[in-house]
């Protein structure tokens, strides 16, 4: 009799792999780069927060931020199938990430008076929250699995 995995995939598919954590590592780097860029923009050293370049940078960064959650799901399923001591619950990471971003959206809509900086703030929150979620997940993954 074949041994069943502890936590099978929600979809029943075996499309998981050991390389999905690269997206999470890229998001950590993405978060650092965007934070440095926005600190320069806030100080108006190179560009202003309301410039077109800032919008383009944040839009591209937020695309990777959205891709973090499916990658986290697939990596968590992969780690669960490897029978290590750590069984990550992907829904906790995804729930916290989406919940904090939605809460920030509500705060920005209620408190935010500046219509030009509200989208910048919301996209930055999306990038920052995904980066923190990715860093926490990768830290815990490293202690359980080894690499990364």
Could you give the CA distance from residue 18 to residue 145 in angstroms, rounded to a whole number? 11
Q: Is residue 50 part of a domain?
A: yes
Q: Is residue 73 part of a domain?
A: yes
Rounded average pLDDT per 10-residue block, the chain, 148 residues = 51 66 94 92 80 87 93 90 82 94 89 76 92 95 80
Q: In this predicted structure, what is the pLDDT of residue 41? A: 86
> Domain span at residue 116?
21-145
Long-range Cβ contact pairs of 87-95 (< 8 A, separation 24 or more): 87/6, 87/7, 88/137, 88/140, 88/141, 93/69, 93/133, 93/136, 93/137, 94/69
Nearest to 7 by CA among 68, 97, 86: 86
Q: How many domains does the chain contain in total? A: 1
Q: In this predicted structure, what is the pLDDT of residue 1? A: 47
Q: Is residue 2 part of a domain?
A: no
Q: Is residue 11 part of a domain?
A: no
């Amino acid at each position: 009799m074949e041994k069943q995995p502890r936590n099978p995939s929600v979809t029943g598919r075996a499309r998981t792999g050991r390389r999905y954590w690269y997206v999470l590592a890229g998001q950590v780097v993405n978060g650092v780069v965007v934070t440095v860029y926005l600190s320069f923009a806030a100080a108006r050293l190179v560009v202003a927060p309301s410039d077109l370049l800032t919008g383009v940078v944040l839009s591209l960064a937020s695309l990777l931020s959205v891709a973090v959650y499916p990658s986290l799901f697939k990596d968590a399923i992969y780690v669960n199938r490897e029978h290590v001591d750590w069984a990550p619950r992907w829904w906790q990471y995804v729930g916290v990430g989406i919940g904090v971003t939605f809460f920030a959206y509500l705060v920005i809509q209620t408190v935010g008076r500046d219509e030009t900086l509200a989208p910048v703030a919301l996209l930055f929150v999306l990038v920052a929250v995904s980066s923190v979620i990715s860093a926490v997940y990768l830290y815990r993954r490293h202690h359980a699995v080894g690499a990364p």
